[in-house]
Amino acid sequence: MKNILIIGAGRSASSLIKYLLDKSDAEKLHITIADLSEELAKKKANGHPNAAIVVLDIFDEIARRNAVQHADIVVSMLPAHLHIEVAKDCIFFKKHMVTASYISAAMQELDAEAKANNLILMNEIGLDPGIDHMSAMKVLDEIRAKGGNIILFESFCGGLVAPESDTNLWNYKFSWNPRNVVLAGQGGAAKFIQEGKYKYIPYSKLFRRTEFLEVDGFGRFEAYANRDSLKYRSVYGLDEALTCYRGTIRRVGYSRAWDILVQLGMTDDTYTMEDSEHMTYREFTNSFLPYHPTDTVEIKLRHAQKIDQDDIIWDKLVELDLFRSDKIVGLKNATPAQILEKILTEKWTLQPHDKDMIVMYHKFGYELNGEKKQIDATMVCIGDDQIYTAMSKTVGLPVAIATLKILKGEITTPGVQLPIGKEVYEPVLKELETYGVIFNEMEVPYLGYNPLNVEN
């Protein structure tokens, strides 16, 4: 039997664990699921005879190292900042490792040691990052193989609610960490290059600078810029491309309404609010507005944010209960962002029969034989239920597939890796198609060229 250690049994691990357990008899696998919550780990193991449960505190070095030592490969589904100690253990005990998280500077520093020990530390093989890398590199390599020169690359991804479960005015529900949604876009200006011009969008303007996307069969979406679209230019071989832009997808109208919350200050996570535990939702909203002896909270907010009475944005704010005086925050020493997260969780949590949806959209502009061409690639994945969500599928399945292929010696390139080589992306994407993660690629007229060559 080959032993796979999975550390972390949270939401995104559901499809990962199911995949490996489903393959365990045929592939002779024994899966150890380690989590701080025994109840959660047991739920994911679902009584499978090839699964074992370990209650593990990741900060307990002896227990952690013991778990790693007895594995043939380690999958870390922990928060990104906790991967590094596990990775060091894997180096020490000469074990391969797979994560879905971005490569940190500390992780990259292990590259030489990993190569020296012929170990694979595979990172960024979830959804975004992950499927975005693999699906993009597949098309980029195909264009280059026929002699094309890449001049434009745009990539968008969003975790949304499926149309049949879309029951609120924001057209949005949480399928991922709510805190990450509340803090989205913070920590520096979004930066990208567009038609050869470097562009920067500060957080205060981010949600008012969107572009529209059409996905066949699913209608219109909007996208706002990710924080840093430039860091993958070299990785993707796009240093000469005139446009490189990555963004997050939402339904049309979400960003304009979200911007109101940003402008009010509700997404700020840098300070705590006085007596937040006893504060009402109405008082929370009022705390960001100027004092007035007679005007109501509603009037002050409309005036401050210039919202007309018949604007759909107003209905969206009302839907969040932001003006309710009978609802209490109930969080001690909370930041505005923490309070907003609580408010949104009450409204945007997937209900038992709800399904989520992942949408990914790539645009590739290239020149071939003096002619400008464009390929659009779209992928839509609908979840099965609250456990096996589209988010769980698209994050967990690539991790699981890569883990098994590393274990079987089908992926062999050592070092701290991204899934951008054919050795990884070809077999992983092919198997993902059998689980409904399918990209539709289509040649369309090239739209990214600026014929007048004017400043833009």
Among the listed residues 316, 337, 331, the one whose alpha carbon sits nearest the alpha carbon of residue 179: 337
> What is the residue type of 296?
T
For residue 309, the model assigns a pLDDT of 85
Question: Quick check: is 216 in a domain?
Answer: no
**Is residue 453 over pLDDT 60?**
no
Reported as a single tens digit per residue, the pLDDT across 249-307 is: 999 999 999 999 999 999 999 999 999 999 999 999 999 999 999 999 999 999 999 99
Cα–Cα distance for residue pair 159/165, rounded to 1 Å: 13
For residue 452, the model assigns a pLDDT of 39
Reading the block at residue 146, the tokens are: 């026929």
Mean pLDDT to the nearest integer, 402-425: 96
- What is the chain's mean pLDDT, rounded? 94
Rg (CA), the chain: 23
Mean pLDDT to the nearest integer, 29-40: 95
For residue 152, the model assigns a pLDDT of 96
Which single residue is written with the structure tokens 């038992």?
352
Reported as a single tens digit per residue, the pLDDT across 319-365 is: 999 999 999 999 999 999 999 999 999 999 999 899 999 999 999 99
Residue 407 phi, psi (nearest 5): -60, -35
Reading the block at residue 350, the tokens are: 């997937």
**Is residue 379 over pLDDT 50?**
yes
**Is residue 126 over pLDDT 80?**
yes
Question: Quick check: is 119 in a domain?
Answer: yes
For residue 387, the model assigns a pLDDT of 83
**Is residue 451 over pLDDT 70?**
no
Question: Quick check: is 107 in a domain?
Answer: yes
For residue 449, the model assigns a pLDDT of 47
Range of the domain at 34: 2-123
**Is residue 455 over pLDDT 60?**
no
Q: What CATH number is associated with residue 85?
A: 3.40.50.720
For residue 317, the model assigns a pLDDT of 97
Q: 120-122 and 96-99 as β-strands: parallel, antiparallel, unpaired? A: parallel
Q: Please give, one letter per residue, the 3-state secondary structure of the chain.
A: CEEEEEECCCHHHHHHHHHHHHHHHHHCEEEEEEECCHHHHHHHHCCCCCEEEEECCCCCHHHHHHHHHCCCEEEECCCHHHHHHHHHHHHHHCCEEEECCCCCHHHHCCHHHHHHCCCEEECCCEECCEHHHHHHHHHHHHHHHCCCEEEEEEEEEEEEECHHHCCCCCCCCECCCHHHHHCCCCCCCEEEEECCEEEEECHHHHHHCEEEEEECCCEEEEEEECCECCCCHHHHCCCCCCEEEEEEEEECCHHHHHHHHHHHCCCCCCCCCCCHHHCEHHHHHHCCCCCCCCCCHHHHHHHHHCCCCCCHHHHHHHHCCCCCCCCECCCCCCCHHHHHHHHHHHHHECCCCCCEEEEEEEEEEEEECCEEEEEEEEEEEECCCCCCCHHHHHHHHHHHHHHHHHHCCCCCCCEEECCCCHHHHHHHHHHHHCCCCCCEEEEECCCCCCCCCCCC
**Number of structural domains, the chain?**
1
**Is residue 417 over pLDDT 80?**
yes
Cα–Cα distance for residue pair 13/253, rounded to 1 Å: 31
For residue 56, the model assigns a pLDDT of 93
Question: Quick check: is 250 in a domain?
Answer: no
For residue 448, the model assigns a pLDDT of 66
For residue 12, the model assigns a pLDDT of 84
**Is residue 454 over pLDDT 50?**
no
Reported as a single tens digit per residue, the pLDDT across 64-78 is: 999 999 999 999 999
Cα–Cα distance for residue pair 126/83, rounded to 1 Å: 15
Residue 287 phi, psi (nearest 5): -65, -20
For residue 176, the model assigns a pLDDT of 78
For residue 188, the model assigns a pLDDT of 87
**Is residue 450 over pLDDT 70?**
no
Bridge partners, residue 262, by sequence: none
Question: Quick check: is 134 in a domain?
Answer: no
- pTM value > 0.75: yes
As a whole number of Å, the end-to-end CA separation of the chain is: 60
Question: Quick check: is 257 in a domain?
Answer: no
Question: Quick check: is 23 in a domain?
Answer: yes
Reported as a single tens digit per residue, the pLDDT across 150-180 is: 999 999 999 999 999 999 999 999 987 899 8
For residue 294, the model assigns a pLDDT of 94
Reported as a single tens digit per residue, the pLDDT across 177-233 is: 899 899 999 988 999 999 999 999 999 999 999 999 999 999 999 999 998 999 889
What Cα–Cα distance (Å) separates residue 426 from each residue in 71, 243, 435?
Answer: 27, 26, 15
